[in-house]
Amino acid sequence: MTKLPATPESRLASTEIESHAEAFQKSREDRRTELMEDYVELIADLIEHAGEARQTDIAQRLGVTQPTVAKMLKRLAEENLITQRPYRGVFLTEEGQRLAAATRRRHEVVEAVLCRLGVDPDTARNDAEGIEHHVSEKTLEAFERFLKTQQAVVRPPIA
């Protein structure tokens, strides 16, 4: 069978296919890291507010079983994001602390944008929990620029 030469239309279609495939690949990669980011962010919050992060507290806050948490903690330790000490709980490594801070920053920015758009705070917080994992750095920077311009036009409340 003879292969026909590529036409501009077929090259465009090929480019579109590649672009589409790249978007799906990024989405799959985001889903793989989403759980790890949620765990690391929660561990940071527990340490900040309770002084420690225990497996039982993590399971309770995420609504999962302790064996599920144990499996993820093992994965986080393998990724050098946490350390565990017997009878002492879970601690973030420096890398884990950086990931937790970046995840928290993304969450806060996305939540602020949603609130600025008029979404009620509870819905914004819940929606940001999912959106934060899929926002590119470029989009996050655009969100931050949007928030800065919105702060500049905030009007004082009417008395």
pLDDT digits (tens, 9 = 90+) for 117-144: 999 999 999 999 889 888 889 999 999 9
16: pLDDT strictly greater than 70? yes
Q: Average pLDDT, stretch 73-83?
A: 95
State both tokens at 71.
Answer: 């499996």
Q: Provide the domain count of the chain.
A: 1
Per the domain annotation, does 80 fall within a domain?
yes
Give the three-state DSSP class for 106.
Answer: helix
**Full residue range of the structural domain in which residue 67 is found:** 28-152
Could you tell me which of 21, 56, 31 has the C-alpha nearest to residue 42? Answer: 56
9: pLDDT strictly greater than 60? no
> pTM of whole model > 0.85?
no
Per the domain annotation, does 148 fall within a domain?
yes
Q: Phi and psi (nearest 5°) for 53?
A: -125, 110
CATH of the domain at 132: 1.10.10.10
What is residue 147's predicted lDDT score, i.e. its pLDDT?
92
Per the domain annotation, does 22 fall within a domain?
no
Q: Average pLDDT, stretch 14-34?
A: 69
Per the domain annotation, does 47 fall within a domain?
yes
Q: Average pLDDT, stretch 55-81?
A: 95
What is residue 86's predicted lDDT score, i.e. its pLDDT?
80
Helix axes 8-50, 66-78, angle to 10 degrees: 110
DSSP string, 5-62: PPPHHHHHHHHHHHHHHHHHHHHHHHHHHHHHHHHHHHHHHHHHHHS-B-HHHHHHHH
Distance CA 121, CA 111 (A): 8
Q: Is 104:44 a contact under the CB 8 Å cutoff?
A: yes
Per the domain annotation, does 6 fall within a domain?
no
66: pLDDT strictly greater than 60? yes
Q: Is 106:140 a contact under the CB 8 Å cutoff?
A: yes
State both tokens at 81.
Answer: 């994001």
Per the domain annotation, does 4 fall within a domain?
no
Distance CA 148, CA 142 (A): 10
Per the domain annotation, does 11 fall within a domain?
no
Look over the chain and give the mean of its residue pLDDT values, rounded to a whole number: 85
Per the domain annotation, does 13 fall within a domain?
no
| Beta carbons within 8 Å of 56's beta carbon, 6+ residues apart | 66
